């Protein structure tokens, strides 16, 4: 017949068991941490891909309105007047670039908007200056002539924006 004292000895973990569990958790954390440490670059790359989609969609919507009004020099989209260049949004002046970026939903809190050869260059905030200028960007340039499409350019490292 078991005594009352033997029941009390089985009430918890020993110190060695707790130390082993903590060591195992530490090893798992050390192995998993490098996999999650560089997610910032991936997040900026995904944000930039979304920005390209937004710019492309906005240009297409403005072009559709321009096709409905063939002789118009500007159209109104969401209550905002957009100046046209060959049926697409103009992005020559700083005001035109800001209007186009705002219509595309690109905020200066999230993106750096820079003039680029009569167009707009968009890079995500948080990318290094070298990456933003040379590899981690999307640019929009209106068409150079009637009947042509605008030029959308991606940087070389648009898939990894550190």
Give 30's pLDDT tier (boundaries 50, 70, 90).
confident
Q: Are 109 and 132 in contact (CB under 8 A)?
A: no
Residue 98 above 80 pLDDT? yes
* Mean pLDDT (the chain, rounded): 83
Domains in the chain: boundaries: 13-37, 39-154
Q: What is the CA radius of gyration of the chain?
A: 28
**pLDDT, position 4:** 57
Counting residues of the chain whose pLDDT is more than 90, the rounded percentage is: 32
**pLDDT, position 23:** 94
């Amino acid at each position: 017949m078991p005594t009352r004292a033997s029941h009390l000895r089985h009430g918890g973990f020993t110190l060695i068991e707790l130390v082993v569990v903590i060591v195992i958790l530490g090893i798992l954390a050390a192995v998993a941490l490098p996999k999650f440490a560089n997610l910032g670059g991936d997040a900026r790359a995904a944000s930039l891909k979304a920005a390209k989609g937004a710019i492309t969609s906005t240009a297409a919507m403005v072009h559709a309105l321009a096709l409905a009004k063939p002789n118009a020099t500007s159209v109104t989209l969401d209550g905002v007047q957009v100046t046209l260049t060959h049926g697409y949004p103009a992005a020559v002046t700083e005001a035109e670039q800001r209007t186009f970026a705002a219509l595309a939903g690109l905020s200066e809190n999230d993106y750096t908007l820079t003039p680029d050869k009569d167009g707009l260059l968009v890079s995500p905030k948080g990318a290094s200056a070298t990456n933003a200028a040379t590899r981690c960007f999307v640019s929009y340039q209106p068409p150079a002539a009637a009947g042509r499409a605008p030029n959308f350019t991606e940087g070389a490292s648009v898939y990894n924006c550190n």
